[in-house]
Amino acid sequence: MDWNEALDWIKALDWEVALEWLNNLIVVITQLLVDTGIPDEYRPLVALGIIYLGVTVVVLLLILLLLKIFKRPRKPQPKIVDEEKEKLPVDVAGESPVEPEAEAVEPLAPAPELEPQPEPEPEPTLSMFERFKRGMSKTQSSLVGRVDSLLHGRTVIDEDLVEELEEILITADLGMQTTQQLIASLEQSRSRGELSTTEQVRQLLMAELKQILQFESKDLDVDSASPFVIMVVGVNGVGKTTTIGKLANQFAQSGKKVILGAGDTFRAAAAEQLEIWGERAGVEVIRHAEGADPGAVAFDAAKAAVARKADILLLDTAGRLHTKVNLMEELKKIGRVLDREIPGAPHEILLVLDATTGQNALTQAKLFNEAVALDGIALTKLDGTAKGGIVVAIAAELKVPVRYIGIGEQLDDLRPFDAEMFISVLFDQHK
């Protein structure tokens, strides 16, 4: 009912009938007053009072009724966001996400108000060196920190000291071969009488480590081909996908057009994980359905990289397979597919190793290197381990350059490895 209808209803009232009804009401009330024994002279007054009260109540009720009728909710209903809609299913070619059919869904209940999130404390801006230092702090204290404690207060460089030093180097994951090499060099200098102070021991160690790390190797030059294809390999859980995400972000930030290929079709949600990284970095991800042939993903990704004139294609791979197909054979096959589509690809086979696994990482590196001839290594999770000495072991035993080190889970926590800085951090921090 709206205002016009209400007015029509009032106009249509038969006032004669209404007045007669009112008169009857007064008679009834007067009779009631007679029964209750109210004196004559007060009866009209009391009757009018009762009618007045009655009318007031009726008018109030009417007002309430009208308010209820005309008061419509003005507040728009909160929209319920369908979580699933955010994860769009992607067609098999991986080219275009398929929009789910739009459905008009009546909201059932208002969505809960979001609690205002407290502003995160801005991290103090640390220099590259400081960040590196923080990420390397555990390795620093387990290696140079212990060496310094050993040397502290010693006046004689004797055999005992060298033996203790040997133990420290081994437990800091420098590896047997590298440790032997370092100790042999120390012994030689000692026998030549060149080591009379502990500072000389420290300096010699520093120089030797630097020399091991600075071996001749091919630089990573992503401008040497277009698209430059980086195939990222490694056992499961080492940080391949995370490293790809960080690299994609860095390359995109430097103005390169990047495409990601979700070649890990084995692990559940591996492609979705890569897509999230792709979104963060603002780069396209080529994917197939779970369980698809990784070679087919490599093929499509290479085709897309050429078609879109991408500068860099980063291809993720599985760390494990569900079939009995040998992982290394599968990687070789992916390599061949890439080479067919982009001659010379993959230009870089980057092995990701988890530094926290220590010597195990070295074993993995040897196996992968034998199978697919590695071009470089990304060593992740250095921030969480004291086993950073593995960097030296890899350099000494494999002669495969460590290209990047991971020092945290954030986007910018992947750093190009710099031997000079590595040694400075190790040897300067403790002073």
Ligand X SMILES: Nc1nc2c(ncn2[C@@H]2O[C@H](COP(=O)(O)OP(=O)(O)OP(=O)(O)O)[C@@H](O)[C@H]2O)c(=O)[nH]1
Shorter beta-carbon distance to ligand X: residue 239 or 401: 239
Residue selected from 241, 249, 357, 385 as contacting Mg ion according to rule CB under 5 A = 241
- Helix 419-428 vs helix 198-213: crossing angle, to nearest 10: 160
Tokens of 350: 């980057």
CB of residue 298 to Mg ion, shortest distance in Å: 15
In the Cβ-directed half-sphere of 12, how many Cα atoms lie within 13 Å?
A: 6
- Which region holds residue 98: left if phi is over 0, alpha if psi is between -120 and 50, else beta? beta
Shorter beta-carbon distance to ligand X: residue 131 or 240: 240
Total number of residues binding Mg ion (CB under 5 A)? 2
Shorter beta-carbon distance to Mg ion: residue 129 or 237: 237
243 belongs to the binding site for Mg ion (CB under 5 A):
no
Residue selected from 91, 160, 409, 420 as contacting ligand X according to rule CB under 6 A = 409
242 belongs to the binding site for ligand X (CB under 6 A):
yes
Nearest in space to 316 (alpha carbons), one of 232, 404, 242: 232
Tokens of 282: 């603002």
Q: Are strands 402-406 and 414-416 parallel, antiparallel or unpaired?
A: antiparallel
Shorter beta-carbon distance to ligand X: residue 389 or 406: 406
Encoded one letter per residue, x for contact with ligand X by CB under 6 A and - for no contact, window 303-342 reads ----------------x-----------------------
Q: Which range touches Mg ion (CB under 5 A), out of 42-50, 102-110, 123-131, 236-244?
A: 236-244
Based on C-alpha coordinates, what's the Rg of the chain?
40
Residue selected from 330, 375, 383, 397 as contacting ligand X according to rule CB under 6 A = 383
Tokens of 9: 């209803």
CB of residue 350 to ligand X, shortest distance in Å: 12
Residue 348 binding target from Mg ion, ligand X, none, CB below 5 to 8 Å by type: none
249 belongs to the binding site for ligand X (CB under 6 A):
no
- Helix 390-398 vs helix 176-191: crossing angle, to nearest 10: 90
Enter the DSSP assignment of 41: G
239 belongs to the binding site for ligand X (CB under 6 A):
yes
Report the distance separating Cα 248 and Cα 258, nearest Å: 6
Size of the chain in residues: 431
Shorter beta-carbon distance to ligand X: residue 157 or 285: 285
Tokens of 412: 């910018």
Helices (H), 254-352: 270-281, 294-307, 327-341
Report the distance separating Cα 172 and Cα 318, nearest Å: 30
CB of residue 409 to ligand X, shortest distance in Å: 4
Total number of residues binding ligand X (CB under 6 A)? 21
- Which region holds residue 106: left if phi is over 0, alpha if psi is between -120 and 50, else beta? beta
Site for ligand X, residues 269 to 288, rule: CB under 6 A: 270
Q: Which residue's CB atom is positioned nearest to ligand X?
A: 406
**Binding interface with Mg ion (CB under 5 A):** 240-241
Provide the binding-site residues for ligand X, judged by CB under 6 A. 234, 236-242, 264, 267, 270, 319, 380-381, 383-384, 406-409, 413
